[in-house]
Amino acid sequence: MLAVAACSSSDLPYVETFDSAGSWRTGSDTYTEGEVRDGVYDLYIKSDDVSRWSPAGRNFSDGIYEVEATQVEGPLDNGYGMLLRADTDKGDFYLFKVSGDGYVWIGRYVDEAEDQSIINNHWFESPVVKTGLNQTNKLRVNAESGNLIFFVNDSEVGRVTDNNFKEGDVGLFAQTLGFGGVRVFFDNLSVTPLET
């Protein structure tokens, strides 16, 4: 985990455009660099087979979660996206990620490790994922109680009822799968009220 920020109660809407560091922590270690610059959160995974995330330090439950993510460097066999309803002290959260080569993974992390997919049992290919470098993918989750609906670029890619995590933090995620050097820019993270 790149950073841990203390959770606090937050009213919706929450919008983060990364024009300043705000509550997002930045820094580097042997495997990862993370910084807010030029209106994005720049997350760089230097080593192979590494997963890193950075939380907002907030607490949310129901809402529409959205983020824009653009891979700008590295191999396309990777994963990047957002976590939600996270307990970052424990490393428990839902994770919604895509890959640079056109796949989607939706599932749970428990104790900082991949626990299980909750849709399609593993990675699955989707034509709605924009592939390659410098392609922005918009991820969205409509979360109402245990009902979760997942969208990539405004197209639904899955839905599930899962009551394991009811509230928690939101954050950014990137991972390398075999080769290092993956850099992802994140922008326009938001949590807004569900449409009525």
**Across 178-182, average pLDDT:** 95
Helix (H) or strand (E) holding 80, with range, is: strand 78-87
pLDDT per residue as tens digits for the range 144-179: 999 999 999 999 999 999 999 999 999 999 999 989
The pLDDT of residue 6 is above 60: no
Contact (CB, 8 A) for 130 and 153: yes
Taking the CB of residue 37, how many other CB atoms lie within 10 A of it? 11
CA angle in degrees (0–180, nearest 5) for 114-157-174: 40
Contact (CB, 8 A) for 24 and 41: yes
Contact (CB, 8 A) for 183 and 88: no
Report the distance separating Cα 130 and Cα 71, nearest Å.
Answer: 10
pLDDT per residue as tens digits for the range 31-52: 999 999 999 999 999 999 999 9
